[in-house]
Amino acid sequence: MSANRPAGWGMGALPRIVRGVGSYLYDAAGKRYLDGSGGPAAFSLGHAHPEVNAAIAAQLAKVACGYRYLFTSEPLEELTSLMLSLAGSEYGHIVFSGSGSEAVESALKVALQYWDARGMPAKRRFIARERSYHGNTLGALSVSGFQERRRPFEGSLLPVSFVSAANAYRPLRGLSGAALVRALAEELEEKIRSLGADQVAGFIFEPVVGAAGGAVPAPEGYAQAVRAVCARHQLLVIADEVMCGSGRCGSWRALEHDRVVPDILAVGKGLAGGYVPLAATIVTQELGNTIRDAHGAFLTGHTYSGHTTACAAGLAVQRIVQRDKLLARVRERGEVLKWELKSALERFAVVGDVRGRGYLIGIEFVRERATREPLPAARAFSQALGKRAFEDGLIVYPCSGNVAGAAGDTLLVAPPYNASDSELAELIEKLTRAIERTPAGG
């Protein structure tokens, strides 16, 4: 039945997947697909990595899952220790979950619990950014500035205030550089003042916006500027690194690039590489200790929090990433890949921008490169391009609505960290051919 279910971007009946090997997937008809986006930027080590599969099988042979609130386990303890060492000495607590949405939901709850523990329960409200996506649970969706995904649920979402996206390609008031950063920080400060700092729990943002914007890194200096604003007004900084973290941008924390330590950090996707669902909310020592002293424990968690086999998968993935020096590979090769994409696609007038960080690269398509006018929304160019690429055996991640919530077409390239140079060359060649074959007219 699932083979006949229509895809979300007009692909018709879905092919049935039967196996994966490295950067490739194969359907029941024997067709091979190069996974150029790691699915939804999740498959950090590709598919069927023998060491990860062996770690999962070994754990299943012992026990699939020990309920987190009755037992601890070796995979849970070792993964916790490894993640805290990778995140940095400021962090001391982790709440595990099964998806990025749950990790963000837990981040919001931890923030609220912290202020309650501090005797400041009025701090209930959150500020987020336009053109952001934080997940599909009601809380995570509430802090998402993603019109298309919010619309059916309006009226049941939390009251959240939004400030402008931090997008140098489509900047606030046409500003650039330091002037843009200053204006965005001032806008956040004004929003806090208008709401009353005693009412606001925190500010949540993606260091590199994924699906909602098409791999948009904030301008240099932005993260430090908003961090300073939040510190002045006693707001927690929550970084959603579900898509851009766990090494996707070439450092384990995406905000390492910006030299900023958030109070709460949500990670997922690449954490266990898609082998078993796993995500986590990482909390600083100070926040976690304050909550433990007042309440005894974090008041968030799920049946499968710290799932034993999921932790074994995550531990295997993270150990391989460290052993094989894949963060350096992503950081260095990602800059080359971005340059190669720019060079290969420059001849297409429809390509307006190629941007991103590490192996999270976005391509924005426009009607006019000089004016950055978006393509007609009715044309659904990115979806048509994604379908064409898929037909040609390339998986990429099409996105839309990044301009005023309706128009705008982008595409994400997010290959596995261990993709070979020949596979990356194949990605560029197949994407170039797909653009050639996808009409952009209105």
Instruction: Point out the domain boundary residue: 267, 291, 323.
Output: 323
Give the model's pLDDT for residue 11.
65
Displacement of CA 195 from its chain's centroid (Å): 28
Give the model's pLDDT for residue 103.
98
310 and 359 inside one domain: no
Give the pair of three-digit tokens for residue 148: 């298309």
pLDDT tops 80 at residue 142 = yes
Instruction: Quote the pTM value.
Output: 0.96
Give the model's pLDDT for residue 440.
83
Note down the domain range covering 302: 53-323
Range in 2-6, 151-155, 261-265, 412-416 with the lowest mean pLDDT: 2-6
258 and 311 inside one domain: yes
> For residue 173, with 0-12 CB atoms within 10 Å meaning exposed, 13-18 middle and 19 or more buried, which class applies?
exposed
DSSP string spanning 103-144? HHHHHHHHHHHHHHHTT-TT--EEEEEBS----SSHHHHHT-
Give the model's pLDDT for residue 9.
54
Give the model's pLDDT for residue 5.
37
Give the model's pLDDT for residue 332.
98
Instruction: Quote the percentage of the chain above a pLDDT of 70.
Output: 97
8 and 113 inside one domain: no
Distances in whole angstroms, Cα of residue 411 to Cα of each of 378, 381, 391: 17, 10, 16
Mean pLDDT of 14-20: 97
Confidence of residue 141 (pLDDT cuts 50, 70, 90): very high
d(CA 269, CA 169): 26
Displacement of CA 423 from its chain's centroid (Å): 23
284 and 403 inside one domain: no
d(CA 371, CA 174): 12
pLDDT tens-digit map of 278-330: 999 999 999 999 999 999 999 998 999 999 999 999 999 999 999 999 999 99
* Residue 404 falls inside a structural domain: yes
d(CA 286, CA 93): 10
416 and 285 inside one domain: no
Asked if 344 and 428 touch (Cβ cutoff 8 Å), the reply is: yes
- Averaged confidence pLDDT in the chain: 96
Mean pLDDT of 151-172: 97
Asked if 143 and 128 touch (Cβ cutoff 8 Å), the reply is: yes
Residue whose token pair is 């990790």: 103
Write the CATH number for 28: 3.90.1150.10
Distances in whole angstroms, Cα of residue 181 to Cα of each of 63, 143, 168, 411: 51, 22, 9, 25
Confidence of residue 264 (pLDDT cuts 50, 70, 90): very high
Displacement of CA 318 from its chain's centroid (Å): 17
Mean pLDDT of 31-38: 98
11 and 104 inside one domain: no
Write the CATH number for 64: 3.40.640.10
Give the model's pLDDT for residue 441.
59
133 and 278 inside one domain: yes
* Residue 259 falls inside a structural domain: yes
Please provide residue 238's backbone torsions phi and psi, each rounded to the nearest 5 degrees.
-115, 120
Mean pLDDT of 339-352: 98
* Top-confidence residue, 8 or 80: 80
102 and 165 inside one domain: yes
- Domains identified in the chain, total number: 2
pLDDT tens-digit map of 88-133: 999 999 999 999 999 999 999 999 999 999 999 999 999 999 999 9
Instruction: Point out the domain boundary residue: 300, 323, 346.
Output: 323
| Residue 60 burial (CB count, 10 A) | 13
332 and 361 inside one domain: yes
Q: Which amino acid, 286? A: E
Helices (H) and strands (E) in the chain, counts: 13, 18
d(CA 243, CA 38): 11
408 and 432 inside one domain: yes
Give the model's pLDDT for residue 1.
31
d(CA 374, CA 404): 10
Mean pLDDT of 43-51: 98
Give the pair of three-digit tokens for residue 110: 């931890």
* Residue 442 falls inside a structural domain: no
68 and 171 inside one domain: yes
218 and 340 inside one domain: no
Confidence of residue 8 (pLDDT cuts 50, 70, 90): low
Instruction: Point out the domain boundary residue: 307, 323, 339.
Output: 323
